[in-house]
Each structure stands twice: as structure tokens, then as C-alpha cells.
């Protein structure tokens, strides 16, 4: 597919390299090289993803011209921007980045902002080829598109998405902005990769970046192609998931953290769903019980709510999940 006005021709399977930070170097490089050998040519990483860039650099140093690398900076000052860019180039073992993106920063850099000027200067110097932005906030997404300054937009999109997200996809198509779908598996809560692929495959202008940390996961996505369409069984899966998850669920983006009471919000606020959609037992250990007990320390300061791009009532979600978790532990609720 063509990634909007970047004119990059990319495989419909994009590789999301956040999860490989959890794997050792040997396994990560094996996964990356297997992806490349099977035609995947777009790899998305970020300065924020610990050693992810370093692993991409080691895996692809001899085939750099054959792939597209997208990375990101979350810095909001020109000085820190240049430091991040220099580090990314070094870790990726390259002298240019195909797509450089502002990474979920608190505002949309505009033409007269010093931060955008720094990005443009990097492009003029040949250090980056294309300029993009990522966000979880729909207001910033619209700002970015209306500014006409960005060649790509990376935004959460899956079969759980509603009309607001679909409007963003259509707007990108109209403006010829490449749409990169993050959290295409609902932040880890969707289990059916085929349904996820088939849904996104309907949109010619949407590039999903699947977060992959196992060869088995990679092989699932490699088995799908343009002939993977939504059928009656997949539609049934989608409808059931929409009914179960609804709109008021935590996607696990982590922007609510850190919590002043060190509560693991991104896991605790969706524990009820987690223990129902995946094997329950691993999440009932003493370690997880202690983690859930810590939700009782919530001060209801609402700092997490202010940072939540989905405007969820997180303190209330923590209470609901804790109550349900205790009912499961005691046997009052059977799964």
C-alpha cells in the first residue's frame, strides 16, 4: 500500500517494535530478520522504547536501504529534540530516518513553533525524510490534519473504534495523509488477530503496526493477505467483543502514569477484562493480589484522569475492578 503523501510503498503488515524491548537481543534480531525475509518493510519504534532502536540497528545494518524505519521523539524543546534525534540515528546505525514523528506530546507543533522548525531543519539536512505525529487525543489529531504540516498520523484504531475514529481515517484519506494504526489489537485485549487484520484490511489508506514479540505472533500476521476478508464468523467475533468491552475500558496506553501512590493503573484498571479474556490463573497469584490491593491507596487526585486521552473515570474503574477481583478470588463470581 501507499502511505499517503510520503509515497512510501509499504507491506500491509507494519511491524510495531515496542514489544521486542521485552525480549533478549538474539530472539529480537531473529524475529526482525524473519519479518524482513517475509516481505515486511515498515518498522515503527521510538526513543521511549528502551533498547528497541538498538535492536533494529543491529538487525538491519546491512540492509538499511531495503526497509523503512519510523521512530519518534517525545521531547518538547528544540534542544532535547536534537539530542533524541542524534541518539536515534546512532542506535539505529543509520544516517537518516524515513519517518520521524512527534510522539504523543502535549500539543500539536505548528509552523511557527520552534519545535516544528527543528523538525523541518532536520528534514532539510537530510537526517529525516518525512514528518509525522502520533497522538491518543482526537483534538490533537484534528489539529495536526488541519495544519497540513504532517505527512502521517499515528492514532489508535481497531474494530472497537467508533464514528469519531472513522472520521479521522476518512479525513486522512481526503488529505492524502498516511494513517498508521496503533493499538490495532485494542491495547492487547483483542485475541483474534484474523478479525483484527480483516477489519483493517477494508481500509486502503490504513497501515496497522502489529506489536510483535514472538515468532508465533509474527507468523499469524504473515498468514493473512488481501484475500483475508470479514466473514460471518469474524463479524460475530467483532460484535461479541464490542458488546463485552464497550467504550469505557482502559487501553493500557500508560499515559495516566506514574501514579503518586505507585498504583499500576494500566493493568489494575482493566483486570476484570484481563482475567476473562486470557487464562485467569496467572493473574490470581500473591503478586497480582498485592498489586490490586494497592488500588485501595488511590487518593482520587484525578491526575490520572487529566492525563487520560480517553477521559476515563480511572478512580471509579479501579474501584470496580478491585471489587470484581475480590469476588473472583472469593468464589462469589465464577469465570
Q: What is the pLDDT of residues 52-96, one digit of tens each?
A: 999 999 999 999 999 999 999 999 999 999 999 999 999 999 999
Q: Which residues contact 83 (CB under 8 A, 6 or more apart)?
A: 75
Q: pLDDT at position 252, please?
A: 85
CA distances from 316 to 54, 103, 195, 246, 319 (A): 39, 28, 31, 16, 5
pLDDT in tens, 114-138: 999 999 999 999 999 999 999 999 9
pLDDT in tens, 185-228: 998 899 999 999 999 999 999 999 999 999 999 999 999 998 99
Q: Which of 96, 94, 92, 118 is nearest to 105 (CA)?
A: 118
Q: pLDDT at position 251, please?
A: 86
CA distances from 222 to 61, 68, 80, 269 (A): 23, 18, 38, 32
Q: pLDDT at position 294, please?
A: 97
Q: Which of 72, 156, 82 is nearest to 115 (CA)?
A: 82
Other residues' Cβ atoms within 10 Å of the Cβ of residue 97: 23
Domain map (residue ranges) of the chain? 4-237, 265-330
Helix (H, G, I), strand (E, B) or coil at 90: helix
H helix or E strand, kind and range, residue 80 = helix 78-91
Q: Judge contact between 212 and 222, C-beta under 8 A.
A: no
- In order, the DSSP letters of 266-304 are HHHTTHHHHHHHS-SGGGGSHHHHHHHHGGGG-----HH
Point out which residues pair with 99 in neighbouring strands: 70, 130
Q: What is the DSSP letter of 141?
A: H
CA 130 to chain centre: 19
Q: Judge contact between 152 and 132, C-beta under 8 A.
A: yes
CA angle, corner 104, sides to 263 and 96, nearest 5? 125
Q: What is the DSSP letter of 76?
A: -
Average pLDDT of the chain? 95
pLDDT at 21 over 80: yes
Point out which residues pair with 208 in neighbouring strands: 181
User: Taking every pair of C-alpha atoms in the chain, what is the biggest distance, in angstroms?
Assistant: 64
CATH architecture of 4-237: Alpha-Beta Barrel (3.20)
- In order, the DSSP letters of 214-266 are SHHHHHHHHT--TT----HHHHHHHHHHHHHH-SS------TT-S-TT---HH
Torsional sign, CA 171, 105, 12, 247: negative
Mean pLDDT value across residues 18-47: 96
Q: pLDDT at position 322, please?
A: 96
Mean pLDDT value across residues 1-15: 97
Long-range pairs, 218-225, Cβ under 8 A, ≥24: 218/31, 218/34, 218/35, 218/38, 220/193, 220/194, 221/13, 221/193, 221/197, 222/13, 222/35, 222/38, 222/40, 224/13, 224/193, 224/194, 224/197, 224/198, 225/12
Q: How far apart are CA 33 and CA 56, in angstroms?
A: 9
Q: How far apart are CA 236 and CA 199, in angstroms?
A: 12
Q: pLDDT at position 309, please?
A: 85
pLDDT at 255 over 90: no
pLDDT in tens, 156-182: 999 999 999 999 999 999 999 999 999
Mean pLDDT value across residues 301-321: 93
Helix (H, G, I), strand (E, B) or coil at 109: coil
Question: What's the pLDDT band for 40 if we cut at 50, 70, 90?
Answer: very high
Q: Judge contact between 130 and 99, C-beta under 8 A.
A: yes
Q: Judge contact between 192 and 11, C-beta under 8 A.
A: no
Amino acid at each position: 500500500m501507499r502511505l499517503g503523501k510520503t509515497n512510501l510503498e509499504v507491506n500491509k503488515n507494519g511491524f510495531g517494535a515496542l514489544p521486542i524491548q521485552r525480549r533478549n537481543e538474539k530472539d529480537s534480531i531473529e524475529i526482525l530478520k524473519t519479518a524482513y525475509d517475509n516481505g515486511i518493510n515498515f518498522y515503527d519504534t521510538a526513543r521511549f522504547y528502551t533498547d528497541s532502536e538498538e535492536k533494529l540497528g543491529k538487525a538491519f545494518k546491512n540492509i538499511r536501504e531495503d526497509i523503512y524505519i519510523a521512530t519518534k521523539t517525545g521531547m518538547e524543546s528544540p534542544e532535547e529534540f536534537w539530542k533524541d534525534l542524534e541518539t536515534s540515528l546512532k542506535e539505529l546505525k543509520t544516517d537518516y530516518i524515513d519517518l520521524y514523528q512527534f510522539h504523543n506530546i502535549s500539543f500539536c507543533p505548528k509552523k511557527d513553533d520552534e519545535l516544528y522548525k527543528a523538525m523541518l531543519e532536520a528534514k532539510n539536512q537530510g537526517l529525516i525524510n518525512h514528518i509525522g505525529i502520533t497522538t491518543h487525543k482526537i483534538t490533537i489529531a484534528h489539529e495536526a490534519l488541519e495544519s497540513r504540516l504532517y505527512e502521517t498520523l499515528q492514532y489508535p484504531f481497531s474494530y472497537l473504534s467508533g464514528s469519531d475514529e472513522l472520521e479521522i481515517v476518512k479525513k486522512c484519506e481526503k488529505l492524502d495523509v498516511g494513517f498508521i494504526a496503533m493499538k490495532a489489537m485494542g491495547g492487547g485485549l483483542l485475541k483474534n488477530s484474523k478479525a483484527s487484520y480483516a477489519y483493517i484490511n477494508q481500509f486502503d489508506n490504513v497501515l496497522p503496526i502489529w506489536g510483535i514479540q514472538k515468532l508465533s505472533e509474527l507468523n499469524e500476521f504473515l498468514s493473512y493477505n488481501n484475500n483475508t476478508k470479514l466473514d460471518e464468523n469474524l463479524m460475530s467475533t467483532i460484535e461479541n467483543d464490542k458488546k463485552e468491552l464497550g467504550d469505557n475500558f482502559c487501553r493500557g496506553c500508560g499515559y495516566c502514569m506514574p501514579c503518586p501512590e505507585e498504583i499500576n493503573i494500566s493493568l489494575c484498571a482493566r483486570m476484570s477484562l484481563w482475567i476473562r479474556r486470557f487464562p485467569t490463573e496467572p493473574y490470581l497469584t500473591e503478586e497480582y493480589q498485592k498489586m490490586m490491593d494497592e488500588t485501595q491507596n488511590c487518593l482520587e487526585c484525578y491526575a490520572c484522569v487529566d492525563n487520560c486521552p480517553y477521559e476515563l473515570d480511572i478512580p471509579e474503574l479501579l474501584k470496580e475492578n478491585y471489587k470484581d477481583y475480590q469476588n473472583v478470588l472469593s468464589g462469589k463470581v465464577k469465570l
